[in-house]
Structure 1
């Protein structure tokens, strides 16, 4: 299931960045991918809708939130955690 979640997250982010999913590297930041703040908000809404989760409003402040949007790896890990909490 984790690979499926990763693939779906990559597809959502790739669509926003106008890239192919295989061009999305775990170390890439949203800025590296050409995603501005509005695009990031749209991506967050798409992730919430896709996985039926609620991403904290302060996700852009990792020191204040459990959801870290620093790079793709941290975004994937945070979404996976929220999905697993929802399933529990």
Structure 2
């Protein structure tokens, strides 16, 4: 069975944080996981490539982004919404 969006996003975040996927919990923030702003941008690029989506994210003004990066669960939800919107 193919990995779910949740599994794939957690894997991307885990790789960026140099952690095992099991150590990435939904309620954690990227900061909790030790991911800095450069790591965030790299994660966004990887997510875009993995899911063939365009993430509405401005690295210069992340607080003004439509893409919720407040927690792992928020990122997963945002990716699920973008995949649905952009791929029907």
TM-score by length of 2: 0.88
Aligned position for 2:78:
78
TM-score by length of 1: 0.88
Runs of 4+ aligned structure 1 residues displaced above 6 Å come to none
Shift of 1:56: 1.0
After superposition, the CA RMSD in angstroms is 1.7
Counterpart check, 1:68 vs 2:68: yes
Please list the CA deviations of residues 7-53 of structure 1 after superposition, one character each: whole Å capped at 9, or x if unmatched: 00000000000001111111100000000000010000000000001
Shift of 1:68: 0.3
Structure 1 residues 33-44: aligned runs within 5 Å: 33-44=33-44
- With CA pairs under 8 Å and 6+ residues apart, which has the higher RCO, 1 or 2? 2
Aligned position for 2:6:
6
Unaligned runs of 5+ in 2: none
Checking the alignment, whether the CA contact within 8 Å between 2:51 and 2:83 is kept in structure 1 is yes
Q: How many residues align?
A: 85
Unaligned runs of 5+ in 1: none
